[in-house]
Amino acid sequence: MAASSGADAQKKRRSGSENRQQTAKFQMRMTAEQRIALDEAARKNGFRDAKELVMSRLQQDLAAAGLAAVS
């Protein structure tokens, strides 16, 4: 049992900041072709994935509009 309780404690320490900070979801529908194009655009612009691209652009737009920045 000591081994499993140690593993449980290790998992709890690695919960990550996403669990604490990002709790809301936003979903949108698009065609498979649109998703492929979005993923390709993200990679071509140096982003890891489509989410990182969208969040970056959203932060820029909110800042330009004088609204609170998204973290």
- Per-residue pLDDT tens digits for 4-14: 555 555 555 55
CB 42 within 8 A of CB 50: yes
For residue 66, is it left (φ>0), alpha (ψ between -120 and 50) or beta?
left
pLDDT at residue 57 is higher than 90: yes
Residues belonging to the chain: 71
pLDDT at residue 64 is higher than 60: yes
Nearest to 45 by CA among 57, 35, 34: 57
CB 45 within 8 A of CB 53: yes
Most confidently modeled range among 11-15, 26-30, 67-71:
26-30
pLDDT band at 24 (very low <50, low <70, confident <90, very high): confident
What is the pLDDT, as a whole number, of residue 36?
96
> What pTM did the predictor assign?
0.59
pLDDT at residue 71 is higher than 70: no
Q: What is the DSSP letter of 67?
A: P
